[in-house]
């Protein structure tokens, strides 16, 4: 707690000075300022200093040389996730580069318009997207969602086919086939 208190005092001292470089040209912090742009650094500093101080007090860290070793051990545990994130990132980048998403988005938007899905439901979806991408429209929303929808759809169809082929019940007391259908 003492280490975090020291970091807080240092940050406040650096920020509250009227000529602080972390203030915007008007001398404030909102709506934009170097302090807000540096928030990742500030949060990292709190976690790094707090974690190091806790490790020293708890006896799990004997010096700065232990930190890279512990970071390596943590990364070793995260390797499967990092590989998956890399592959998914490549898929999304190629999907965006190919332009398939834009074409499918326009076709999807036309399809939604043809079935009458306009108005309030679309406004609610777009409201969340426009918070981060102000120029977004329905086509943008479709293009952003398509790279996720297609793999999920393929995966769930594969799961359905496995259940049907192996005769696995869908849930307690439910068979693979519904009576009266098929």
Q: Cα(181)–Cα(53) distance, rounded to whole angstroms?
A: 65
pLDDT at 48: 92
The whole-angstrom separation of Cα 51 and Cα 66 is 12
Task: Compute the CA torsion angle 87, 92, 94, 99 (nearest 10 deg).
Answer: 170
By the 8 A CB rule, do 142 and 110 touch? no
Q: Would you give per-residue pLDDT tens digits along the chain (182 residues)? A: 999 999 999 999 988 888 888 888 888 877 788 888 889 999 999 999 999 999 999 999 998 899 889 888 888 888 888 888 888 888 878 777 777 767 777 777 777 778 776 777 666 676 667 777 777 776 777 777 777 778 888 888 898 888 888 877 776 666 666 555 54
The answer to whether 92 and 147 have CB atoms below 8 angstroms apart is yes
Position 6 scores a pLDDT of 96
On whether the pTM is more than 0.95, the answer is no
Residues across the chain = 182
């Amino acid at each position: 707690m003492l280490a975090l208190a020291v970091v807080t005092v240092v940050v406040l001292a650096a920020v509250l000075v009227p000529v602080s470089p972390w203030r915007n040209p008007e001398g404030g912090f909102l709506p934009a300022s170097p302090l807000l742009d540096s928030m990742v650094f500030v949060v990292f500093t709190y976690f790094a200093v707090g974690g190091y101080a806790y490790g020293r007090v708890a006896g799990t860290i004997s010096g700065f040389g232990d930190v890279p070793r512990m970071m390596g051990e943590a990364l070793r545990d995260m390797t499967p996730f990092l590989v998956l994130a890399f592959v998914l990132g490549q898929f999304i980048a190629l999907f965006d580069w190919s332009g398939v998403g834009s074409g499918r988005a326009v076709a999807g938007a036309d399809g939604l318009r043809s079935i009458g899905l306009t108005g309030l439901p679309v406004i609610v979806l777009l409201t969340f997207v426009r918070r981060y991408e102000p120029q977004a429209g329905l086509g943008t929303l479709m293009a952003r969602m398509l790279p996720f929808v297609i793999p999920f759809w393929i995966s769930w169809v594969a799961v359905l086919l496995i259940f049907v082929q192996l005769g696995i019940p869908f849930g307690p007391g439910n068979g693979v086939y519904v009576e009266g259908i098929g």
